Amino acid sequence: MKIHEYQAKELFQKFGVPVPQGKVAFSVEEAEKIGAELGRFPVVVKAQIHAGGRGKGGGVKLAKNADEVKKWASSILGMTLVTHQTGPEGRVVKKLLVEEGLPIEKELYLSVLPDRGTAKIVFMASEAGGMDIEEVAAKTPEKIIKVYIDPLVGIKGYHASELAFGLNLAGDLVKQFSAMVSKLYKLCVDYDCSLLEINPLILTKDGSVIALDAKINFDDNALYRHKDILEYRDLDEEDPFEVEASKYELNYIKMPGGNIGNMVNGAGLAMATMDLIQQAGATPANFLDVGGGASAEQVENGFRIILADPSVKGVLINIFGGILRCDRLANGVVEAAKKVGINVPVVIRMEGTNVEEGRRILDESGLNLITAKDVSDAAQKIAAIAKG
């Protein structure tokens, strides 16, 4: 799960990681009020969306006076912000973070995340922080240093020193930075973060180390033990079909640019099905794994969600009936079709437990369903339909 910068900064404060003073605003008036409360300029007006690259996209502006706060808040709030992380469709900005503008001496990069390869927690840091970090990583990866921490041992002073010296920090900055590193480590572990990133981490002209930006992603599988984080969830930032699917515990992921809806049981089979569709010359519009033990109701909801997507020009149902018996699937499909109304061709490939019963239900339903004899036949048929 992703959260906004202003929420990540709230957590930083809880853990004692220094951030600029500021508040979230939902309207231009609120932004102006916060700007006035800060009491000095410059003030920074920042778009809050679940994507980075806002600065380059025009979503972060420095206001020199109250008029400029109003001007930037009015232009950023409601804008469709396009960044390299939003895709070409962009994101509508519905919230702003208004904070004190700080005098920047240097922009560093710092992140913490679990590293699967080594099964450790890794800190990544670079002196070349700021808006071009992706380019640094691609062209001069040696400018990014990595320090690995065994979670059973925990973070030690030497880990922080290695990072601090790698960043060429000296004197009191080392002290401030090292304290911050331990706090970030604790936050990352305590909250089961999958990524915690500060870019830029700044050194100010008056000698402080401050997290100017803040990004945190959480491991969804651990959210059950972090009820406070669940409150940070912002449904505005999620695909509406994915939000709907999550209500029924369906694993649905929208695939931009595709036109074939997919309903499959099991993630492996879903991946293989998407490959076959692609091979047959069509493109999947979604990934939907109804799971091994799906109920007729889940199948019905999955089907309804797929059909609600206007880019779907045909649906391929590929089920291997193990725990999810074929008759149950067939009932779910028939129920959904009756309620929702099928507006596109549907190809079904079904094998496994109670397959005869499942086929009988589909045949007797009177619905216009195309049955396939095997998976590649199904992919060919749906691709032919998509091509018209």
What element of type H or E holds 251? strand 251-254
Is there a catalytic annotation at residue 109?
A: yes
DSSP 8-state code for residue 169: -
The two structure tokens encoding residue 387: 């091509």
For ligand GDP, how many residues bind (rule: CB under 6 A)? 19
Taking the complex as a whole, how short is the minimal distance between the CB of residue 214 and ligand GDP, in angstroms? 8
Q: How many residues does the chain have?
A: 388
Q: Output 107 or 327, the one with its CB closest to ligand GDP.
A: 107
Roughly how many angstroms between the first and final C-alpha of the chain, as a whole number?
39
Q: Which one of ligand GDP, Mn ion, none interacts with residue 31, CB within 5 to 8 A by kind? A: none
Q: Output 57 or 314, the one with its CB closest to ligand GDP.
A: 57
**CB atoms near residue 297 (< 10 Å):** 13
Q: Which of the stretches 96-104, 118-126, 222-230, 286-294 binds ligand GDP when contact is defined by CB under 6 A?
A: 96-104
Q: Output 71 or 360, the one with its CB closest to ligand GDP.
A: 71
The residue from 99, 197, 237, 300 that is catalytic is 197
Q: Which of the stretches 87-95, 97-105, 111-119, 370-378 binds ligand GDP when contact is defined by CB under 6 A?
A: 97-105
Taking the complex as a whole, how short is the minimal distance between the CB of residue 27 and Mn ion, in angstroms? 24
Taking the complex as a whole, how short is the minimal distance between the CB of residue 336 and ligand GDP, in angstroms? 41
Q: How far apart are CA 8 and CA 22, in angstroms?
A: 13
Q: Output 136 or 305, the one with its CB closest to ligand GDP.
A: 136
Q: Which of the stretches 2-10, 34-42, 209-217, 279-287 binds Mn ion when contact is defined by CB under 5 A?
A: 209-217
What element of type H or E holds 115? strand 104-115
Strand order in the sheet with 22-25: 22-25, 96-100, 43-47, 60-63
The residue from 109, 185, 191, 232 that is catalytic is 109
The one-letter amino acid code at 310 reads: P
Half-sphere exposure of 375 (CA within 13 A, CB side): 18
Is there a catalytic annotation at residue 197?
A: yes
Q: Output 107 or 300, the one with its CB closest to ligand GDP.
A: 107
Q: How far apart are CA 296 and CA 113, in angstroms?
A: 39
Closest Cα partner for 287 from 319, 250, 320?
A: 250
Q: Is 213 in the site for Mn ion (CB under 5 A)?
A: yes
CB 193 within 8 A of CB 112: yes
For Mn ion, how many residues bind (rule: CB under 5 A)? 2
Beta carbons within 8 Å of 179's beta carbon, 6+ residues apart: 16
Q: Output 52 or 261, the one with its CB closest to ligand GDP.
A: 52
Closest Cα partner for 125 from 158, 151, 160?
A: 160
Q: Which of residues 314-353 bind ligand GDP (CB under 6 A)?
A: none
Q: Which of the stretches 148-156, 208-216, 230-238, 297-305 binds Mn ion when contact is defined by CB under 5 A?
A: 208-216
Could you say which of 7, 28, 32, 52 contacts ligand GDP (CB under 6 A)? 52
Q: Is 55 in the site for ligand GDP (CB under 6 A)?
A: yes
Beta carbons within 8 Å of 10's beta carbon, 6+ residues apart: none
Q: Is 199 in the site for Mn ion (CB under 5 A)?
A: yes
CB 82 within 8 A of CB 88: yes
Q: Binding residues for Mn ion, per CB under 5 A?
A: 199, 213
Q: Where along the sequence are the contacts to ligand GDP (CB under 6 A)?
A: 20, 44, 46, 52-55, 60, 62, 101-102, 104, 107, 130-131, 199-200, 212-213
Q: Which residues are catalytic?
A: 109, 197
